[in-house]
Amino acid sequence: MNSDDDRISYLAGDPAGDLDADEQAELDEFRALLADPSLWVEPAIDLEARIVSAIAAEAQPPVTARPPAKVINLDARRRRVGRIGGIVAAVAAAAIVVVALAVVRQDGDQGTEVALAPTQLVPGASGSARVFAESSGLRIELNATGLPRRDGGLYYQAWLKDAAGNLVPIGTFHDGDHVTLWAGVALADFPTLTVTEEQADNDQGSSGRRVLLGTVETK
Amino acid sequence: MAVEAETIARFRDGDPEAVRAVYREYGRLVYSVAHRALGSRELAEDAAQQTFVQAWRAASSFDPGRELGPWLATIARRVAIDIHRREQRREHDHLDDAAPTERALIAEPPDIERTFEAWELRRALDDLPPDERELVELNHLQGLTHTEIAERLGVPVGTVKSRSFRAHRRLAARLGHLRESTGREPNEPTIRTDG
């Protein structure tokens, strides 16, 4: 057996034979790497879909409504409601073709609206949130449909996320019907709202299993 | 292992099919790099997602003449470091209370300098025939002996030994390449095989 065969055999777990200490140490490094579970771990099946959705969400330019009217009277409000209805209809149409498209509408005390698009985890889900600035922080009224109720230690959690990926938890809930969330950060700094599937496992971090996603255009 | 320049161009445009193609080529490798740095499946998935999003944002600056894999590995490493720091800050809100050796005060995740070694080794494993890859996994990850592997797979011990030698010869060839390409060993690789 030549030296190469000795090295290959040692790599495979056989005794060192004629290998010197340096050769053994060098091969031991690779044996340690081969025994490292991180080398063998496989990502979640839905990770591909999440990545495709995340890039699609950023690749599509956000649709921004006209600025809020400065003069408020009944006639103007009626006209604005009509325009808003048209905008909402346009947004609904856009949401059908865009995987994850965020829509913002700022309308004074009506708050800022964020459209939430589904991911591949629950493709039939949809939702929206309306964000109000209160003295104590942001109050976020979320409504989602198509999300199966989660009980028994399972729940949904909503987050605000900044451009660097930092997450701020803003509340947990069983289902998406009339959910009130609170945030102590600025929407301009944390413009992305996500909803994830979670479980009571003493892990305070996000599971990464996003079911709804939307980004606020703050320009 | 390579993605064609045309696919990279479509990736840059956010074409979902191109994103899927790039992910299928490099997704497991990116995930492996992130998992090695972070030690958590959830954080590694978050890192992998951020890696591909950041790669898409920066794709216009990518030189199509270069190999995409090492570029993605570099991004994954940086993203993993950012997430590691974020998580450490989150676990230790009051740094005044932390000991000087506390991990929260250490900038780099453990073993991050070996990211590229793990990257190359993972590529080598993915290139192995499935039966040889399974055998290497049973041997190194699960710590089984040749005899135990033979019992598990229902094949003679001699078959396990010959298959194991063949698999490790292929890996050795790639490891020789690793030492050469990373400059860790300035001389010719000492492992020379036909694998």
pLDDT tens, position by position, B172-194: 887 774 444 333 332 332 333 33
Q: What does the DSSP assignment read for B131-166?
A: HHHHHHIIIIIS---HHHHHHHHTS-HHHHHHHHHH
Residue range A73-107, pLDDT digits in tens: 434 444 444 455 555 544 444 443 343 334 444 44
Give residue B64's pLDDT.
75
How many secondary structure helices (H) and strands (E) does chain B include?
8, 0
Residue A21 confidence (pLDDT) above 80: yes
Does B49 contact A47 at a Cβ distance shorter than 8 Å? yes
- Token pair listed for A75: 């006639």
Asked if B19's CB is within 8 angstroms of A205's CB, the reply is no
| CA angle at B179 for the pair B133 and A9, rounded to the nearest 5° | 45
| CB-defined contacts A:B, below 8 A | 147
Sign, CA torsion A25/A28/A29/A32? negative
Q: Average pLDDT of A144-169? A: 86
Q: What is the pLDDT of residue B159?
A: 94
Shortest Cα–Cα distance, A181 to chain B (Å): 21
ipTM value, please give it: 0.72
pLDDT above 70 covers a percentage of chain B that reads 75
Question: Of A4, A31, A206, which has the smallest distance from its Cβ to B42's Cβ?
Answer: A206
Q: How many CB atoms lie within 10 A of CB B127?
A: 13
Query: Looking at the partner chain, which of A4, A43, A52 has a beta carbon nearest the beta carbon of B191?
Result: A4
Give residue for tokens 């459209």.
A115
Residues of B in contact with A34 (CB under 8 A): 121, 136, 140-141
Cβ-based burial of B180 (10 A; exposed 0-12, middle 13-18, buried ≥19): middle
Among the partner-chain residues B16, B40, B41, the one whose CB lies closest to the CB of A52 is B16
Mode of pairing for the β-strands spanning A112-118 and A210-215: antiparallel
Q: Report chain A residues whose CB lies below 8 A from the CB of B167.
A: 12
Range with the lowest mean pLDDT among B25-29, B37-41, B116-120?
B116-120
Residue-level pLDDT at A68? 40
Per-residue pLDDT of B69-91, as tens digits, reads: 888 888 998 898 888 888 877 66
pLDDT, position B142: 92
Q: Does the CB of B166 have a partner CB in chain A at under 8 Å? A: no
Confidence of residue A157 (pLDDT cuts 50, 70, 90): very high
The pLDDT confidence band at residue A115, using thresholds 50, 70 and 90, is confident
Residue B105 has pLDDT above 70, yes or no: no
Whether residues B27 and A36 touch (CB distance < 8 A) is answered with: no
Confidence of residue A24 (pLDDT cuts 50, 70, 90): confident
Check if the beta carbon of residue B26 is closer than 8 Å to that of residue B68: yes
Residues within 8 A of B (CB atoms), A 27-46 only: 29-31, 33-44
B165 contacts A12? CB cut-off 8 A:
yes
- The enclosing H or E element of B55 equals helix B41-58
In the numeric block, the tokens 């490099």 are attached to B26
Between CA A66 and CA A77 the distance in angstroms is 14
Identify the three-state secondary structure at position A167: strand
pLDDT at A143 over 80: yes
Q: Does any CB of chain A come closer than 8 Å to the CB of residue B116?
A: no
**B85: distance to nearest CA of chain A, Å?**
11
Q: How far apart are CA B134 and CA A110, in angstroms?
A: 59
Report the distance separating Cα A211 and Cα A215, nearest Å. Answer: 14
